[in-house]
Amino acid sequence: MKLQNYATGKWITGDGSGQELYNAINGEVVAIASSQGLDFAEMCRYAREVGGPKLRKMTFHERGRMLRALALHLMSKKDLFYKISWATGATRSDSWVDIEGGIGNLFAYASLRRQFPDEIYAVEGEAARLSKENTFIGHHICVPKEGVAIHINAFNFPVWGMLEKVAVNWLAGVPAIVKPATATSFLTEAVVREIIASGILPEGALQLICGSANTLLDHVQNQDVVTFTGSASTGKKLKSHPRLIEESVPFNMEADSLNCCILGTDVTPDQPEFDIFIKEVVREITTKAGQKCTAVRRIIVPENRIEEVRVALAKRLSQTIIGDPNVEGVRMGSLAGITQRNEVMEKVELLSKTQKMIIGDFEKFEVKGADKNKGAFMPPVIFLNENPFVNTDCHNIEAFGPVSTLMPYKSTEDAIKLAKMGKGSLVSSIITADGKLAREYVIGAASMHGRILVLNSECAKESTGHGSPMPMLVHGGPGRAGGGEEMGGKRGVFHYLQRTAIQGSPTMLTSVTNQYQYGAKYIEKGIHPFRQYFEDLEVGETVITDTHTVKESDIIDFANLSGDKFYAHMDPSALEGTVFKRTVAHGYFILSRAAGLFVDPPKGPVLLNYGIDECRFTKPIYPGMSIGVRFTCKEKIENDKPLKATNDTEVKTGIVKWVVDVYDASPQDVRDALGVDGATGDTVAIATILTMVKLKNQ
């Protein structure tokens, strides 16, 4: 079967004989890949001019819903992907991580849409006040880059490697060209076929190159983003490409690294943490036959536990059945191909020069249901390095397979030093029941690791494990690991957005951002906003309420009702040395009374109060002072799902955010009598409340 590339809106078979791709289990040819004849410049142009504009017209919420629909579609086709994944040497559990883990990233980023506005751009952070009278302010707006995300991926995760990246750039509004590693591209091609066939993505949002892409980077421009996952040596070559430097193209590198797992000095063999440690290390050695950029390469153990750990590892690894993943009982498949196995064997030979192999036999290991001479099989290998501060090959040479090195340490300080000798890793883990020890290790080792897992009996059951990056957390690491970041929730999306500082008056920036900026002109319609449907409300629409004079009885009644009898509200004799001149009203009373001022009671389009954000009490209110409210529509977000009403009907709704600006409405003579600083109109409390509002068009 000759694989096809998907370029400029059509499936294209590459010219020439192409590269033969092999079944990792039996050595048979499963596909031929070729990209010869593809016009890479045209592919880039097509992504920028066809896919990009369509994605940028969609809001974050629309793009998120697109991701969810795609995830549901791919889940319905997962059995097909599992069948094909077998030929990569993966067991069912290996494939689960790759296939359903990758689809899970689509679900995760679909849900992330709720953290963005229902707009084609994002407003980041708080406004900066740039002038004394607040007539000139600044803010940051983030818009999608007008280029293409080029993803160059590794062979070990042909599905997850693609989906964990494209989920992020699609949510940001940027199209992608995916170049999977050729060796396992037959699985990536099958997934892309289903993506394209679904019709869920706008045309131009995704293109695929199954063969070589040697000249692809010659065509990048400054609005593009390039990501790479693979070996550090290849990554360095790509990173120094003249075109990337000339065009200042962001390059994100996630390289294989010498990750480590630490057994804490507090753990003894009779503790559950000891078994957790052994299970975690064995899982990382055998999952995907050790072909994970996050796999444990260095096993760092207190010197008095080396023998106990060696025995436990040997016992557990001896129970690992290697063979054809389709055969019952097999727990470890093959490497992805003979080429990968030969590369691992070369590294094993280098490591053997400075340390002793204590587990593993390349001649005597058994393979169930397959011919080990035809498939890319190899047994788990454990080295012992008794002097890891002197014999340092284990900190510099990575065998990208089921290979790891066991080494001793004396103190947590030594463990930290050994962990750092990897010169930058994607992940480290420590198994300990001691919180102080965990803190010492995490703080000491964090500068050289992108992620640190602290594992003990409290979280082991639900922990996703040492080797599992999570969509909402950063995946990457410093130094040898590449110095990049992938995923990371909102952080990842911002890699594909251009952050631009904008300056102007609050009213003008309200118009630009479609979010109310404090100090902007109010829109007063003469109708209470609670009387209006979601579609009719305008950002900046404001009601100025009546005022209320706070009495001593208000404070006492609220204290009795709430149970909050803090001295500053109740005991005038206790105020000496405090910031208060007399008993002060509760902040929550001020906010509650403000609600009584701005709420319009009769039944109408407003259905419920959804929450409160960013609440601050900025000035004290004493008995005799008055308050009023400036109540302003800040932002509108339409809900995805209708609300179920009590009569079983569905009601379409949106969330409206309101600025509740409670101000000092005290007459000047009252202020003078009470010795209150400031001026009438000063804000005394401010918050953002959220209401659920009915849509007019049901």
Q: What is the pLDDT of residue 641?
A: 83
| Other Cβ atoms within 10 Å of 525 Cβ, number | 14
Looking at residue 523, the DSSP 8-state letter turns out to be B
pTM reported for the whole predicted model:
0.88
Is residue 629 a contact partner of residue 550, using CB atoms and an 8 Å limit? no
Categorize the per-residue pLDDT at 677 as very low, low, confident or very high, splitting at 50, 70 and 90.
confident
- Hey, what amino acid is at 186? F
165, pLDDT greater than 90: yes
Categorize the per-residue pLDDT at 674 as very low, low, confident or very high, splitting at 50, 70 and 90.
confident
For 73-87, 380-394, 438-452, 459-473, which range has the lowest pLDDT when averaged over its residues? 459-473
At CA 636, angle to CA 632 and CA 640, rounded to 5?
155
Q: Helix or strand or coil: residue 118?
A: coil
Q: What is the pLDDT of residue 155?
A: 83
Tell me the average pLDDT of the chain: 92
Which residue intervals of the chain bear CATH 3.40.605.10? Answer: 39-254+491-497
Topology of 259-470 in CATH?
Aldehyde Dehydrogenase; Chain A, domain 2 (3.40.309)
Euclidean distance between the first and the last CA atom of the chain, given in angstroms as a whole number? 51
Is residue 231 a contact partner of residue 258, using CB atoms and an 8 Å limit? no
Average pLDDT over residues 17-24: 88
Categorize the per-residue pLDDT at 649 as very low, low, confident or very high, splitting at 50, 70 and 90.
confident
Give the catalytic positions in this structure.
Answer: 254, 293
Q: Which is higher by pLDDT, 125 or 68?
A: 68
Q: What is the pLDDT of residue 15?
A: 85
498, β-bridge pairs: 143
Q: What is the pLDDT of residue 573?
A: 87
Count the alpha carbons within 13 Å of 548 in the hemisphere toward its beta carbon: 19
Is residue 586 a contact partner of residue 657, using CB atoms and an 8 Å limit? no
Q: Is residue 118 packed enough to be buried (19+ CB in 10 Å), middle (13-18) or exposed (0-12)?
A: buried
Q: What is the pLDDT of residue 49?
A: 96
pLDDT over 90 percentage in the chain: 69
Q: What is the pLDDT of residue 237?
A: 87
Structure-token pair, residue 654: 């949106």
Q: What is the pLDDT of residue 481?
A: 87
168, pLDDT greater than 80: yes
pLDDT in tens, 200-212: 999 999 999 998 8
410, pLDDT greater than 90: yes
Q: What is the pLDDT of residue 680?
A: 82
| Other Cβ atoms within 10 Å of 418 Cβ, number | 23
Instruction: Round to whole Å and give the CA distance between 70 and 351.
Output: 45
Q: Is residue 294 packed enough to be buried (19+ CB in 10 Å), middle (13-18) or exposed (0-12)?
A: buried
Instruction: Round to whole Å and give the CA distance between 261 and 396.
Output: 16
Q: What is the pLDDT of residue 84?
A: 92
Q: Which CATH number is correct for 522-694, 2.40.50.140, 3.40.50.1980, 3.10.129.10, 3.90.650.10?
A: 3.10.129.10
Q: What is the pLDDT of residue 98?
A: 92
Average pLDDT over residues 69-92: 93
Instruction: Round to whole Å and give the CA distance between 461 and 467.
Output: 15
| Residue that has been written with the tokens 């009996």 in this structure | 457
Categorize the per-residue pLDDT at 647 as very low, low, confident or very high, splitting at 50, 70 and 90.
confident
Instruction: Round to whole Å and give the CA distance between 105 and 82.
Output: 18
pLDDT in tens, 347-389: 999 999 999 999 988 888 888 988 888 988 999 999 999 999 9
Which residue intervals of the chain bear CATH 3.40.309.10? Answer: 259-470
Across the beta sheet with 176-179, the strand order is 10-13, 4-7, 206-208, 176-179, 149-152, 225-230, 251-255
314, pLDDT greater than 90: yes
pLDDT in tens, 563-612: 999 998 988 888 888 888 889 999 999 999 999 999 989 988 999 988 89
Q: What is the pLDDT of residue 60?
A: 94
Structure-token pair, residue 102: 């990758």
One-character DSSP codes across 127-157: EEE-STTSSSEEEEEEEE-SS-EEEE--SS-
Is residue 689 a contact partner of residue 658, using CB atoms and an 8 Å limit? yes
Quote the strand ranges of 432-531, DSSP E.
452-455, 474-475, 486-487, 497-504
- H or E element: which one contains 424? none
- Hey, what amino acid is at 2? K
Which residue intervals of the chain bear CATH 3.10.129.10? Answer: 522-694
- H or E element: which one contains 178? strand 176-179
Q: What is the pLDDT of residue 440?
A: 95
Q: What is the pLDDT of residue 160?
A: 93
- Domain 39-254+491-497: which CATH class? alpha beta
Instruction: Round to whole Å and give the CA distance between 166 and 176.
Output: 7
Q: What is the pLDDT of residue 101?
A: 92
- For helices 60-76 and 185-198, give the axis angle rounded to 10 degrees: 120
Structure-token pair, residue 328: 């019952």
| Other Cβ atoms within 10 Å of 650 Cβ, number | 11
Categorize the per-residue pLDDT at 102 as very low, low, confident or very high, splitting at 50, 70 and 90.
very high
- H or E element: which one contains 625? none
- Hey, what amino acid is at 222? N
